[in-house]
Amino acid sequence: MLHYLWSFMILAGMIWAVLNGTVDAATQGLLDAAKDSVTLSLTMLGIMSFWCGIMEVGSRAGLLDWLTGKMDPILNFLFPRLAKNHPARKPLAVNMIANMLGLGWAATPAGLEAMNKLKPEGHQHTATNEMCVFLILNISSLQLIPINMIAYRSQYGSANPLAVVGPALIATTFSTLVAVIFCKVVDR
Amino acid sequence: MIIIWLSRYMVPFVICYMIGFGLLSKRPVFDDFTDGAKDGMKTVAGILPTLIGLMTAVGVLRASGLLDALAGWLAFPARLLHIPQQLIPLTLVRLVSNTAATGLVLDIFETYGPDSAIGMAASVLMSCTETLFYCISIYFGSVKVTKTGFALPGALAATIAGVGISIFLSYL
């Protein structure tokens, strides 16, 4: 799927650029994006390494075991076939909690680790149901309070920047609910 | 206001809590930290190729003008569904780039004000959706998965639900 998606994006973009005389812009866009991706990964390198370090401190102190325990009912519901002592449980719990709290930078490394642990033995290129469920949940957005949006709204002179909190909570609950229902219907 | 306060103190609190807990457990916390940070570096290095591939593809799509054209084609069906015209490019861009989507939201704020219905819809939309292609590429790219199973339809369903409810709540 990713092969086709990626190829389509580049090929369609290039063909469109040729047909519309935006070839220079498209080429420049490609080069700029290549540079931006390295800049972004440098930022990520610093922030994600820091969070991984902090998480490791908490993990080795036994803090995350406690956290995983609290998340067990939710994990059991979402991933019913996941063994009780599966190594993916801890990063799954950390990823979800960090996402809810809006700590995106801490959520991503935990999520990547969870994905790695969810991968079955024998090196396949096919996503398992658990991997799909986990990804869909992440994309359904779990963040409870949209702190960035509140900041932008207040920066742009909103009379009530916090007005977004209620609707955002309802909306993110709804989109997550749709995600969970979808997964439960498909993953049987 | 308590929400702002909580959000502002969340990061320092989590960091202090982790380190404090480690110290109380008599752990060599700095060694633990550097071990974890090393793993973090490997992770970032591992997803860099995916990131470059995805971001260049998005770059071409946007710079060629195809994304804008796509938004233009979707304007008519959107009108039938009562989707505000400005949200079409936002929804499309939201799928591929958080930074670019934020830029569009700030444009909407500047033109219509953050308290307008469209400003509210944009705020809620950003709050209840994620950067779909970025997430799929990073998460699946890191484990070399290319057959994505039911992840894409599911993620699209969640995103469409998010966009729909944003509009519904803001134009109620």
pLDDT at residue A9 greater than cutoff 80 = yes
Written as six digits, the tokens of A49 are: 């390494």
How much is the pLDDT for B3?
A: 66
Q: Which amino acid is at B82?
A: H
H helices of A21-62, in order, are: 23-60
Query: Do the Cβ atoms of A127 and B148 come within 8 Å?
Result: yes
In a domain, B35, yes or no: no
pLDDT tens column, A125-166: 889 999 999 999 999 988 888 888 888 998 899 998 888 999
Q: Does B116 touch chain A (CB under 8 A)?
A: no
* Mutation to test the B interface, candidates A136, A150, A174, most B Cβ within 10 Å: A136
In a domain, B25, yes or no: no
Q: Are B93 and B67 in contact (CB under 8 A)?
A: yes
pLDDT tens column, A95-109: 999 898 888 888 988
Per DSSP, the three-state class of A159 is coil
Spell out the residues 6+ positions from residue B12 whose beta carbon is closer than 8 angstroms to its own. Answer: none
Per DSSP, the three-state class of A102 is coil
How much is the pLDDT for B101?
A: 92
**pLDDT in 10s for each residue of chain B, 172 residues:** 676 677 678 788 889 999 999 999 999 999 999 999 998 898 888 888 888 998 899 899 989 999 889 888 988 888 888 888 889 999 999 998 888 899 899 999 999 999 999 999 999 999 999 999 889 988 998 888 888 889 999 999 999 999 999 999 998 7
Q: Does B117 touch chain A (CB under 8 A)?
A: no
Q: Does A48 touch chain B (CB under 8 A)?
A: yes
In a domain, B18, yes or no: no
Phi (first) and psi of residue A126, to 5 degrees = -105, 135
Spell out the residues 6+ positions from residue B21 whose beta carbon is closer than 8 angstroms to its own. Answer: A57, A58, A61, A63
Per DSSP, the three-state class of A140 is coil
CA distance B133 to A112: 15
Number of domains comprising chain B: 1
- Residue B61, domain extent: 46-170
In a domain, B75, yes or no: yes
Q: Which residues lie across from A126 on neighbouring strands? A: B147
H helices of chain A, in order, are: 2-20, 23-60, 63-78, 89-100, 104-118, 129-139, 147-155, 165-186
How much is the pLDDT for A104?
A: 80
Query: Do the Cβ atoms of B44 and A45 come within 8 Å?
Result: yes
User: A7-11, A63-67, A122-126, B49-53: which range is least confident on average?
Assistant: A122-126
pLDDT-derived band at A67 (thresholds 50, 70, 90) equals confident
Residue with token string 């709290």: A101
pLDDT-derived band at A32 (thresholds 50, 70, 90) equals very high
